[in-house]
Structure 1
Amino acid sequence: MTDIDSDLVRALVAEQFPEWGGLPVRPVARQGWDNRTFRLGDELAVRLPSAEGYVAAVEKEDRCLPVLARHLTMPVPHVVATGRPGAGYPYPWSVRRWLPGDTVEAALDIDRARLARDLGAFLTGLREVPDEHGPAAGHHSYYRGRHPGVYGDQVRRALDTLGDRVDAAACRAVWEDALRSSWDAPPTWFHGDVAVGNLLTAGGRLSAVIDFGTCGTGDPACDLVMAWTYFTGEERGSSARRPASPTTRGAGRAAGPCGRRSRPWRDCPAPTRTASRSGSCGGCSTTRSPTDRERPPGRRRHPEVNGRSSTSR
């Protein structure tokens, strides 16, 4: 396949969207695994899947983002055009409005308590979006949105492989605790990749949420992972504001049933990644489908912003 670089983007834009052909193209500084992103002038960004396994997310975001944007008060990506294969590039691609801001992982002025409240409000709003147009959790979401038990074989295999290199008893306790709870309400929207690289901030506050490639409808427990990976103490309760479920009503703490199912999304990937690096666990991770192994292990860089952005609109 042709290298995904600025020359390719210029060729694609000039051929398919000549009205933007004169705009400067430059790559963002921090690229993601799934996509390569380039600034197109000051107002736009071009986003191209890096491999066939990520192509389905183009159509899904084209379809889902307008639905979500109509109901959410928090800015989300806005697709203005979708390109077709061309210039030696074999996949569809998209042009989006540029969202200014710093990612949580790059920002220096985060008000953590405020961020926790803002994120909790966003997740609550997301769960309240009517779900009739949402794709049910499955292969397209790497089984995020399903009960964590779908990864049971991977977790057991990883812990057997690692032996005493990890606290297997503690890992099993977290896992078994998660398996004892379930989502007992109708499916709700979930983002699927709530992480420090997919949250934009301005003035220390949450300003936008990006990268909905793994979104869908199902169990929203996976969206509470930052309560364990980033927030501490009282912040956790704010970021994990309860989903609308009888089992969690009145229990905003991350320790509720939904929070218990979210813990494996933090605790279990580490041992499975370690096991995969040993060469005897099939390269799998509990944050992935049992059959999907395209993405290298480890934290992703988000693909839609250039780390610390100096633009502001």
Structure 2
Amino acid sequence: MDTEAYTALIEQCFPHLTIRTARPISEGWDSFVLEINNKLIFRFPRRADVEEQLTREMRLLPPLARTLSTPIPHFDYIWHGNNSQPLPFVGYRKIDGVPLDNIRITSAHDSTLAASLATFLSELHSFPIAQAIQLGVPGHTQAQWRQRYQHLYQEVERLVLPQLNEPARNKVRRLWETFLDDEANFEFQPAFIHQDLGCEHILCDPTGGALAGIIDWGDATIGDPALDFVGLLHCRD
């Protein structure tokens, strides 16, 4: 499907919405994203597993928003799918702000962004685990978290290592095995995490550097809170 097809789908499912402009802003592996009328964002899942994630977001985001001081999407348009239009999708009012990977935060604004991110992460990781699981968020103990990485390493061995030369294969093996063999890497207090907190999902005020919003919650899970800091490291590159 292309922009015209997705726009037509919105018009069919929400005939009261007058569409004046439609602009694709993301065509990633998981979702196709349209900006409508310069003020609405519509997300369309590309795969069945992403449809499941989106359904979970529908349940999760309203109670989560009540615990966060940072804006997150509020789905004003929800299409669950039916026999004639089976694809579920959502729309929400665009959150003011620019993705962190699209702007350069000056050193003068570093402290402002750092403080607002610290507040957000503290609130996020304090969201009750029991409530998250009740809302359908996957849960992981430390042992399950380790098994997850062991499975990922098996996939790396099967799919990636055969494509590398011997020195590169040995380096990758050492990195993975060192990580998996270190008990300290799996000694953490499980928390509710975003799990995909990259620069593209962090919206900022380009003038003052303050955090404006966090988007794309489909990968949210219970796991190691340190993972939510990994993407921030790449934001400095």
CA contact (8 A) 2:99 2:203 kept: yes
Instruction: Judge conservation of contact 1:149–1:179 (CA < 8 Å) in 2.
Output: no
Map of 1:120 onto structure 2:
118
Any idea what the Cα deviations from partners look like across 1:109-144, whole Å, max 9, x if unmatched? Answer: 453444333323211110111222211247xxxxxx
Q: 1:127 is aligned with what amino acid?
A: H
Aligned residues: 221
- Residue 89 of structure 1 and its aligned partner are, at CA, apart by 5.4
Note if 1:219 corresponds to 2:221. Answer: no
Q: Which runs of 5+ in 1 are unaligned?
A: 139-144, 233-313
**Between Structure 1 and Structure 2, which shows a larger proportion of strand residues?**
2
Q: CA deviation at 1:87?
A: 10
| 8 A Cα contact 2:26 2:32, kept in partner | no
Query: RMSD in angstroms over aligned alpha carbons?
Result: 2.9
Tell me the alpha carbon deviations over residues 38-92 of structure 1, each in whole angstroms, 9 at most, x when there is no partner. 1222432211112223111111110111121010001111111211447975410
Equivalent of residue 200 in structure 1, options 200, 203, 206: 203
| Partners of 1:52 and 1:177 in 2: CA distance | 35
Instruction: Measure, in 2, the Cα distance between the counterparts of 1:179 and 1:215.
Output: 24
* 1:52 and 2:75 correspond: no
- Give the C-alpha shift of residue 190 in structure 1: 0.5
Paired amino acid for 2:155 = Q
Which aligned pairs between 1:166-205 and structure 2 lie closer than 5 A?
Answer: 167-168=171-172, 171-172=175-176, 174-176=178-180, 178-185=182-189, 187-202=190-205, 203=207, 204-205=209-210
**1:191 deviation in Å?**
0.2
Secondary structure of 1:74's match? coil
Alpha-carbon deviations, 1:225-270, whole Å to 9, x = none?
13543348xxxxxxxxxxxxxxxxxxxxxxxxxxxxxxxxxxxxxx
Kept in 2: contact 1:137–1:218 (CA 8 A): yes
Q: How far apart are the structure 1 equivalents of 2:178 and 2:218?
A: 28
Could you say which structure has the greater relative contact order, defined with CA pairs below 8 angstroms and 6 or more residues apart? 1
TM-score where L is the length of structure 2: 0.79
Query: Of Structure 1 and Structure 2, which has the larger fraction of its residues in helix?
Result: 2
CA separation in 2, counterparts of 1:40 and 1:161?
Answer: 42
Letter of the 2:192 counterpart: W
Q: Judging changes above 3 Å, is the alpha-carbon distance between structure 1 residues 159 and 174 closer, same or farther for their aligned structure 2 residues?
A: farther
Give the residue type in structure 2 aligned to 1:193: D
**1:76-225 alignment runs, 5 A limit:** 76-85=72-81, 90-110=86-106, 111-134=109-132, 135-137=137-139, 146-147=145-146, 148-156=149-157, 158=160, 162=164, 163-165=166-168, 167-168=171-172, 171-172=175-176, 174-176=178-180, 178-185=182-189, 187-202=190-205, 203=207, 204-225=209-230
**CA-to-aligned-CA distance 1:9-34 (integer Å, 9 cap, x gap):** 333233322221x2324123343221
Amino acid at match of 1:122: F
Distance 1:16 1:105 in 2: 33
CA distance in 1, matches of 2:25, 2:229: 28
**Structure 2: 5+ residue runs without aligned partners?**
none
Q: Which residue of 2 aligns with 1:24?
A: 20
Range moving further from structure 2, 96-105 or 155-164:
155-164
* Secondary structure, counterpart of 2:62 in structure 1: helix
Aligned CA distance change for structure 1 residues 50 and 155 (closer, same or farther; 3 Å) = closer
Q: For 1:230, which of 214, 232, 235 is the aligned residue?
A: 235
